[in-house]
Structure 1
Amino acid sequence: MSRASRLLDLLQLLRRHRAPVAGPELARALGISLRTLYRDVATLRAQGADISGDPGLGYVLRPGFTLPPLNLSEDEIEALVLGARWVAARGDARLGAAAEDAVAKVRAVLPEALRESVDAVTLTVPGVQAAMTVVDVAGIRAAIRKEHKIAIAYRDERGALTRRTVWPLLIGFFERVMVLAAWCELRRDYRGFRVDRIAECEVTATRYPRQRKVMVAEWREKQHVVAAARN
């Protein structure tokens, strides 16, 4: 492996982690010595990468450093295009358009030899008849990013309508439906709401009082406990 490739691999490895990563862990992942890792970190810093940390404390890459022109492998191109096609087939209209735009941008900056790989990708996503939604899913996604409460009118499987204020956390995409994971003020607990059963939705100007990332961690832990109990 060339040194340039190794430096790019180190950047990609750091980008996968939000918390500091120990030097020995990075060195093992890259198959290099700890001494070489320290030299590579110093080189990237000299080139403008904002890498915080020191030996014994771990390293983290701060946002803002721009990679050189894209140099993707054919496998990476296929993974990106496949993911974009999946989103386009199952996401809301705005998200689907964003997926197509993202692929177009990637294609535009690829070396000419790799551009054909985008069009000739060997993987595909089967079409599905997704459940129809009547609310603006893009608005729900915006509320999640801003950590704002939403007021919804929700129909259960029997058609009974309830009005609730929920704290939206995540949208899960399944084969035919989308499910909103949220804290429900009515039930005072985490709940899942099928988006196609939300009859009305209003994004409020009120932020919910807890950090979303903390609540997502709690929600994931609850899912693990429920899954373990079923097994």
Structure 2
Amino acid sequence: MWSLLMSRSERLLHLLQVLRRYRRPVSGQVLANELGISIRTLYRDIASLQAQGAMIEGEPRIGYVMKPGFMLPPLMFGSEELEALVLGMRWVADRCDRTLAEGALNVLAKVSSVLPSELRRELEESALLVGAPLQRPNNPPSHDILRSAVRSELKLRITYMDGDGIQTQRVVWPFALVYFDQSRVLMCWCELRNGFRNFRTDRILVTDETNERYPKRRAALLREWRKAHQEASKTILPESDRIGS
């Protein structure tokens, strides 16, 4: 019954989302049952999506599968998805360094340029705004270098000053950059401490690129950090053990 209340565009979007969950061909009847529509309606919806460029392979009585990598047509954005996109990009544009801020505004411009007029107006007139923070974080120019090192899985040499003003030189394996409202934290494996350490970016005084790959993959380091964090969370660690020690 709920499917009768959906617009056709919402139903097509839901069909795409269902197809994404299956890696092997799934029968049309299974899809129709999940969507609460008739098999004839499903066939029409599949044909409509294929005409819009969706890489859906298959045929009746055999099954359907969608090739990975299909880009969702902007036409298929729902109202809540557009609002989430606008709010997220506005937050990035307001809170982050210049490079990310420009990237966020470019995303909004690109999406707006290909939306149908009704959805474009909805995007441009969104009433979800980003409030001013109590204190804006310091976004040093080195953030571009930090993000590049994380993406490329490269070691960095940094000079870091802790909360007591003590400076140390480190070689680190950066695997994530965390954006808090009032600070940014680089998550690393630290060769000096032979363990995971977090470094507030506004306390990194010098950042030198090494062009040397660290020996593990970024995703593996993140999994190891999560496991270590879960174990450490059973006890309360002092601040010096968590940030830059």
Give TM-score, length-normalised by structure 2. 0.73
- Equivalence for 1:113: 118
SS of alignment partner, residue 221 of structure 1: helix
Residue identity in the other structure for 1:162: T
Residues 1:156 and 2:162 aligned together: yes
- Equivalence for 2:242: none
Task: State the distance in 2 between where 1:125 and 1:158 align.
Answer: 34
Distance 1:189 1:22, change over 3 A: farther
Deviations 1:77-135 (A, max 9, x none): 11111101111122111001100110111111111012122222122111233232434
Deviations 1:158-203 (A, max 9, x none): 1111110111111111111001111111111111110111011112
| Selected match of 1:9 from 3, 6, 14 | 14
SS of alignment partner, residue 144 of structure 1: helix
CA contact (8 A) 1:181 1:193 kept: yes
- Equivalence for 2:62: none
Residue identity in the other structure for 1:180: L
- Equivalence for 1:125: 130
**Aligned ranges for residues 94-105 of structure 1 at < 5 Å?**
94-105=99-110
- Equivalence for 1:193: 199
Residues 1:143 and 2:146 aligned together: no
Residue identity in the other structure for 2:81: E
Runs of 4+ in 1 over 6 A off after TM superposition: 42-48
SS of alignment partner, residue 175 of structure 2: strand
Task: State the distance in 2 between where 1:21 and 1:170 align.
Answer: 33
Residues 1:88 and 2:72 aligned together: no
Q: Which runs of 5+ in 1 are unaligned?
A: 52-58
- Equivalence for 2:34: 31
Residue identity in the other structure for 1:145: R
- Equivalence for 1:73: 78
Residue identity in the other structure for 2:131: P
CA contact (8 A) 2:175 2:188 kept: yes
Residues 1:210 and 2:213 aligned together: no
Task: State the distance in 2 between where 1:106 and 1:70 align.
Answer: 10
Distance 1:168 1:202, change over 3 A: same
Q: Which runs of 5+ in 2 are unaligned?
A: 58-64, 237-245
CA contact (8 A) 1:179 1:193 kept: yes
Task: State the distance in 2 between where 1:78 and 1:108 align.
Answer: 16
